Structure 1
Amino acid sequence: MAEHAGGDTRQRLIAAAVDLIAATPGEDFSLRAVCDAVGVKLPTLYHFFGSKQGLVDAVVEHGFDLYLGGKAATESSGDPIQDIRAGWDVHVAFGLANPGFYTLMYGKVRPGHSPAAQARPSEILRALTARAAAQHRLVVPSEQAAAHVLVANIGVTLRQIVLATPDPALSAAVREGVIAAITGTGTLRDDPLAAAMEIAAAHPDVLGRTQTTLLIEWLTALAERRSG
């Protein structure tokens, strides 16, 4: 029973910190204010988290749980490039809806420190770029492609948070520029198979999801036969 009560107090402290961060995005929060909201003393908070950074790390973990919950609710199209597009948009939307969380998750930088929770969405992105590479649709290594997408996605999101103004046109332009760079569609239009794959992936509404997926599979098979 005591263990359950301890777990409940820990979650209440995280929830209180979350509320303070959401109320004043980008601003520091007081540990005393967190404790007052829960009705405990500072030693109790230090018991659970060890330090303020420990509490911040727990809040960041909570933020990534929310973020990944939103990504999980997004149905895969079956096409890795299109899923990168959709993932980009989910990322930006989460940041704009939760600027307090987002600035802690990606905007607070300490040299040599990367929150462990950051690895989870990165793994999802790397899996998508690995699939795209397996389909011969990248002109850079899959790890490099994932890094390009991630840093651009974070930059666009932080820019809009700083300006406090959503800019969907900017986001779409940077997204398509990054995709063109990693797929080579901006410079390799002399490759009709690559061009056809990316045009189909960018406009799945033309043929429909099932037909678009089949077309990309056929074009991938042709590309593999040609390269073989």
Structure 2
Amino acid sequence: MSTRARILDVAARLVAESADGDISTRAVCEAAQVGAPALYRHFGDKAGLLSAVVDQGFDAYLAAKRERGDTADPVEDLRNGWDSHVEFALRHPNLYRLMNSPAMRTPPAAALEAHRILTRDLERAAALGKLRIAPELAAQMIMSSTTGVALMLVSRPATFPDAGVSARVRDAVHAAVFTPDAREAEPVETDVPSTAARLSALLRRSQGSGLSAAESALLTEWLDRVSNAEGSDD
């Protein structure tokens, strides 16, 4: 094992074992049996080390998503994705809090990949007419809600002792994002917002729409505005 890998593994273990998730570089160096110059050479400083720990943790979380593959039902994939996200947070509370700490100077690369996976699944749902709003807005709603629930469960267990609250919030958010018949095999598009969201998703995936890049971008903006308009499905 390389020196860098040994330092990273030790740091991840100490984060997991810490009472509050905080660690010192001195403790890491002692446990990894390296001098401080070696740690700073590989990671720059403590923030750089913690960022690497977060990247490693997120990568482990995404490994299951990469191996999962897509099913024929993007809505079910999204339900499972929410649940696996919260389960990961509960198994690794200190790491999860660190992942979402404001102290992280830049988002981990794996976190950006997780958002892309979420958006891709939502685009699949929109293409089937199962989405009320544009995929990008839906991704923001789902990601912020999932993260918020997970953080409350791991940071305030006395206030949130029942992990079942996650499923309740999931269902409430999904009800706002998906059409009522989203879980049916053959959804029927009967409202303007979901139809606009579907057309927007199909347009993004199309290679031969007959529109120029500027026209395609303008039409996509219009469709997203229609699909995201509050009260447009009343």
TM normalised by structure 2 equals 0.74
Q: Does 1:98 align with 2:95?
A: no
What's the RMSD between the two structures over aligned residues? 2.4
Q: Which runs of 4+ in 1 moved over 3 A?
A: 72-77, 110-113, 219-223
Give 5+ residue unaligned stretches, structure 1: 1-6, 186-194, 201-214
What is the match of residue 192 of structure 1?
none
- Which residue is equivalent to 2:171? 176
Deviations, residues 162-202 of structure 1 (Å, cap 9, x unaligned): 133663321111001111101143xxxxxxxxx2xx243xx
Are positions 1:167 and 2:165 aligned together?
no
- Distance in 1 (alpha carbons) for counterparts of 2:137 and 2:20: 30
Deviation at 1:74, TM superposition (A): 3.9
How do residues 123-134 of structure 1 correspond to structure 2 at under 5 angstroms?
123-134=116-127
Map of 1:136 onto structure 2? 129
**How many residue pairs get matched?**
191
SS at match of 1:35: helix
- Call closer, same or farther: CA 1:96–1:134 in 2, change over 3 Å: same
Equivalent residue number for residue 27 of structure 1:
21
1:56 aligns with 2:50: yes
Gaps of 5+ in 2: 200-234
Letter in 1 for 2:142: V
Equivalent pairs: percent with the same residue? 37
CA distance in 2, matches of 1:220, 1:47: 59
TM-score normalised by the chain length of structure 1: 0.76
Contact 2:132 2:177 in 1 (8 A): yes
Structure 1 counterpart of 2:208? none
Aligned partners of 1:16 and 1:38 also within 8 Å: yes
Task: Out of 69-78 and 50-59, give the one that drifted further.
Answer: 69-78
* Residues in 2 aligned to 1:21 and 1:112: alpha-carbon distance in whole angstroms: 18
Q: CA deviation at 1:221?
A: 9.4
Structure 1 position 111, deviation (Å): 8.4
Choose which of 49, 65, 89 in structure 1 pairs with 2:59: 65
